[in-house]
Amino acid sequence: MSSITDLIRKEIENLSTDATHTNIGTIITLADGVARVDGLSKVMYNEMIEFPNNVLGIALNLEEDSVGCVLLGDVSSLKEGDEARTTGKLLSVPVGKELLGRVVDAVGRPMDGKGALNANESLPVERIAPGIIPRKSVDQPLQTGIMAVDSMVPIGRGQRELIIGDRSTGKTTIAIDTIINQAKINKQGEASGDANFRPVFCVYVAIGQKNANVARTIKTLEESGAMEYVTIVSAPAADNPANQYLAPYSGCAMGEWYMENGMDALIVYDDLSKHAVAYRQISLILKRPSGREAYPGDVFYLHSRLLERSARLKEDCGNGSLTALPIIETQMGDVAGYIPTNVISITDGQIFLEGDLFNKGIRPAVSVGLSVSRVGSAAQIKAYKKVAGKVKLELAQFRELAAFSQFESDLDAATKASLDRGARIVELFKQTASNPIAVEIQTVIMWAMQNNFFDSIDVADVNRATQSLRDYMETQGKEACELIYSSGKLEEETEQKLRSSVEDWKRSFS
């Protein structure tokens, strides 16, 4: 009896009589992953809302008499009349190096069956982009390992370069090859023991893709040894629209952690067309007024607030960078569509992939006329800038002349020379997937082209000759490559060694 008395006395002592403020509401309607809640008078925009069975939601519509919440996770256990309560918190995701090599969902929960993440830090999913003062101009290269891109539309650390084109023209391949090349450079830099070397960590966001495609991407990254530098955020097509809407912002927060801690990161959004469609779906269910192509009026802000978060920061503001490669899918090559024009106007240039070139076997199918980098040669090492300066103009002239020359039987010598040079450059730029080329090797190949070493080789054999020269330089011409790699310049001594190596290769190839 005394033990019961003691227990009751203890409970009375521990009883708290303070008033607790909780804002509780009730679900009025529930449909398509969106709940309309009544009674949440003190709710904030983008606040986390707690539902029964550990289901979370985000307050997206603050109306006069109700709140529109998008729900995350499995909503099958919820029903109309259930309670909902505010948390006073913004949605946050785990960040840090613990996420490298892992596959997570839109809210940072592991999906790969490798156990808990053990991340010590978290950051809010939605954050304000760095202002003008903390930013620094982009002048450090981020090499993709793809010759057509690195020579004509170079990308710098902190830049936002759009990859745009029709379905199945190799957009994802360019992004994945860039990630593989970062891993290759990271391993080379770590092996060199250079104290000033800055590795690039990668985040790949898969939005609305088939699970089979995401699995294929993971397999490619694992086989090429790149997965240890990559975090994959996946919101597959089977996922609800809320997760597809949140995934890019979650991935961006993970990338921002590196930027703010003095490191360099690369983020790929694959793709933002599906992201806009998911947002349109949510907006229409929330009864928001629709505008052009049924997209809501703030669809531009949807992508601008995401892409503006990529930057290169000054030394006293973190000294890191976040480079973004958003992907947009066009319909029948129409770059003047609503979402494509939105993202073109937000980014610092675009790599446009043409379906016609792809079908002709010119891969990567980079269009010279429509591709541009607004950072330009500032994002190239000096040696590469010297040899690749004219190539875009030569290729553009070739495309123009090729269109006219099919009607002309009698061509003058200058036109023939220009057509010959252009045809060889086209062959030179053909490159297989998951096969990035180091910048010093690219410099050698471009130097050999500019110094007419490919002129005597048949156009059909140029691609084979390029591979042969690459193999030769990686084995017997290492000295010249190491000089280019260490100095980043093409000095007289380097050029002499380069000439003798290329001449030796040419004799063996002939």
Name which of 49, 50, 73, 51 is nearest 61 in CA terms.
49
Catalytically annotated residue among 198, 216, 305, 374: 374
- For 140-194, the DSSP string reads SB---S-HHHHHHS--BTT-B-EEEESTTSSHHHHHHHHHHHHHHHHHHHHHHT-
3-state secondary structure of 385: helix
Residue with tokens 């006395």: 9
Residue with tokens 């910048």: 439
Residue with tokens 């990529």: 310
Catalytic site residue 421? no
Distance of CA 40 to the CA centre of its chain: 38
Query: Cα-flanking dihedrals φ and ψ of residue 414, to 5°?
Result: -65, -40
Per the CB < 8 A criterion, the answer to whether 219 and 245 are in contact is no
Going through 197-347 in order, the beta strands assigned E by DSSP cover 200-207, 230-235, 264-270, 321-329
Per the CB < 8 A criterion, the answer to whether 383 and 441 are in contact is no
d(CA 374, CA 273) in angstroms, rounded, equals 22
Residue with tokens 């607004």: 374
Cβ-based burial of 345 (10 A; exposed 0-12, middle 13-18, buried ≥19): exposed
Catalytic residue numbers, as ranges = 374
